[in-house]
């Protein structure tokens, strides 16, 4: 009997021999790892080590925050604690949770599982949940529960230190994860998590560097800065917000309702984490559809694409590349110089040496990182739009 699927798989094996299905267990594991990284947007160095069914619950900080006298005592609808059932995954450097059923079973192959199973409800392949670098986890505690179930309280690095006194307890992000599995499976997962947390301490300096470059840190620390100003302390300066920060962003800010979008995202991040510790739930997707504020656009693009996790691995890769190849010439650099002044010339930022210099540095660094491509026409337009 003619089997169309067999014919398709045979054709794909000729097109991409590396992606062909195999009964070999190592090939199956490789495919599983590739799908795992794709689902959570993780670097190529990450592999699925442990997986267990779990229930994630967390209460927004405002749900536990006391109300000032004279204010309405009724809690807001989004102050209620959220709870999701899904899969908890552990890799070498990340703890991931997703409400979506996994499509990378032990026998999965690229051909048999090119798409993720189940409805995403607009939440994307990773669904509702989180992708936490282990280095961003400050503390993990086992909670006392009924029926001898394993429950973990996870405290992340998401919190602000008060410049004039101790930080309030409700400024710290806490997640509760209840593991559903045999005692052996739960203990194995916890042992793996313990080892991962211990190994992740070496990346603490990388975390500090990346977080300092995220605009969400500056956005949510405005109240802390006001306190610092009254205490005669030096307030934190905002990170680089791109050329738009210096030469204004394209478009009419009023028509784009940029301030309203910024308030919505600030509220979401205040209650659900920010940058590397952000927790996704349905509101996250709805806010994306409403639109991104200009000053958070780059950070959120990096987060959802996974490039922020790549930068966490090597935060100085860009500057190190420029330093390593400083003064060297190549055909790609000659072509870059020809196109610099043709890049969105109507925008004020690229009529200045500041904008041209940034464009030159990004294109030059990429040409050295990917020498096989180097530079091709129109890459300057793409980079200019991102800058």
Q: What is the 3-state secondary structure (H, E, C) of 54-102?
A: EEEEECCHHHHCCCCCCCCCCCCHHHCCEEEEEEEEECCCEEEEECCCC
Integer angstrom CA distances of residue 251 from 135, 254, 258 = 38, 9, 10
* Residues 241 and 295 sit within 8 Å (Cβ to Cβ): yes
DSSP 71: S
Q: Label residue 330 exposed, middle or buried (CB < 10 Å: 0-12, 13-18, 19+).
A: middle
Helices (H) and strands (E) in the chain, counts: 17, 8
225 vs 232: CA distance, rounded Å: 10
List helix spans (H) across the chain: 4-15, 25-40, 61-64, 183-200, 204-212, 215-220, 222-230, 243-247, 253-256, 258-272, 282-290, 294-305, 307-313, 317-324, 331-339, 353-369, 379-386
Show Cβ contacts of residue 138 under 8 Å, excluding neighbours closer than 6 positions.
Answer: 155, 156, 157, 172
Both structure tokens of 282: 């349905």
The residue written with tokens 């090597």 in the block is 314
Provide the pLDDT for residue 114.
39
Provide the pLDDT for residue 310.
93
Using DSSP's 3-state secondary structure scheme, residue 41 falls into coil
Show Cβ contacts of residue 146 under 8 Å, excluding neighbours closer than 6 positions.
Answer: none
Provide the pLDDT for residue 309.
94
DSSP 228: H
Q: At what angle do helices 258-272 and 294-305 cross, to 10 degrees?
A: 50
DSSP 107: T
- Return the biggest CA–CA distance within the chain: 82
Both structure tokens of 115: 């798409």
Provide the pLDDT for residue 22.
41
Pairing of strands 82-90, 50-58: antiparallel
304 vs 362: CA distance, rounded Å: 21
* Residues 102 and 59 sit within 8 Å (Cβ to Cβ): no
* Residues 97 and 88 sit within 8 Å (Cβ to Cβ): yes
Provide the pLDDT for residue 111.
40
pTM (two decimals): 0.77
The residue written with tokens 């709870």 in the block is 83
Q: Which residues of the chain have pLDDT under 70?
A: 1-31, 59-81, 100-127, 147-148, 159-171, 222-236
Provide the pLDDT for residue 9.
53
272 vs 383: CA distance, rounded Å: 31
Task: Report CA dihedral (76, 81, 86, 90) to the nearest 10 degrees.
Answer: 120
Both structure tokens of 111: 């051909």
Provide the pLDDT for residue 245.
81
């Amino acid at each position: 009997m003619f089997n169309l699927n067999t014919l398709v798989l045979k054709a794909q094996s000729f097109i991409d021999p590396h992606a062909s299905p195999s009964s070999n267990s190592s090939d199956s594991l490789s495919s599983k790892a590739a799908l795992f990284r794709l689902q959570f947007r993780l670097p190529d160095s990450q592999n699925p080590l442990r997986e267990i069914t779990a229930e994630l619950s967390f209460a927004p900080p405002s749900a536990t925050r006391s109300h000032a006298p004279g204010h309405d005592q009724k809690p807001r609808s989004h102050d209620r604690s959220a709870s999701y059932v899904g899969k908890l995954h552990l890799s070498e450097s990340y703890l991931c949770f997703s409400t979506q059923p996994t499509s990378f079973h032990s026998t999965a192959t690229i051909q048999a599982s090119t798409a993720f199973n189940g409805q995403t409800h607009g939440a994307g392949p990773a669904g509702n949940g989180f992708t936490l670098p282990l280095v961003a986890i400050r503390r993990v505690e086992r909670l006392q529960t009924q029926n001898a179930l394993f429950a973990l309280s996870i405290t992340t690095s998401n919190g602000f230190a008060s410049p004039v006194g101790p930080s309030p307890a409700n400024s710290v992000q806490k997640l509760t994860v209840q593991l559903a599995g045999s005692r052996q499976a739960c203990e194995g997962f916890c042992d793996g998590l313990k080892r991962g947390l211990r190994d992740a301490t070496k990346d603490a300096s990388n975390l500090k560097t990346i977080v300092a470059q995220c605009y969400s840190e500056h956005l949510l620390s405005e109240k802390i800065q006001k306190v610092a100003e009254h205490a005669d302390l030096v307030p934190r300066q905002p990170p680089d917000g791109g050329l738009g920060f210096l030469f204004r962003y394209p478009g009419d800010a009023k028509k784009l309702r940029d301030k309203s979008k910024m308030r919505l995202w600030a509220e979401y991040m205040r209650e659900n984490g920010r940058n590397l510790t952000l927790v996704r739930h349905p509101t996250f997707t709805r806010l994306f559809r409403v639109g991104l504020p200009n000053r958070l656009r780059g950070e959120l693009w990096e987060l959802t694409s996974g490039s922020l996790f790549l930068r966490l691995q090597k935060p100085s890769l860009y500057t190190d590349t420029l330093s390593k190849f400083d003064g060297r010439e190549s055909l790609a650099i000659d072509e870059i110089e020809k196109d610099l002044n043709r890049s969105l010339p109507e925008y004020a930022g690229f009529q200045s040496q500041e904008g041209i210099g940034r464009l030159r540095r990004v294109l030059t660094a990429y040409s050295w990182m990917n020498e096989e491509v180097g530079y091709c026409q129109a890459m300057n337009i793409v980079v200019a739009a991102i800058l």
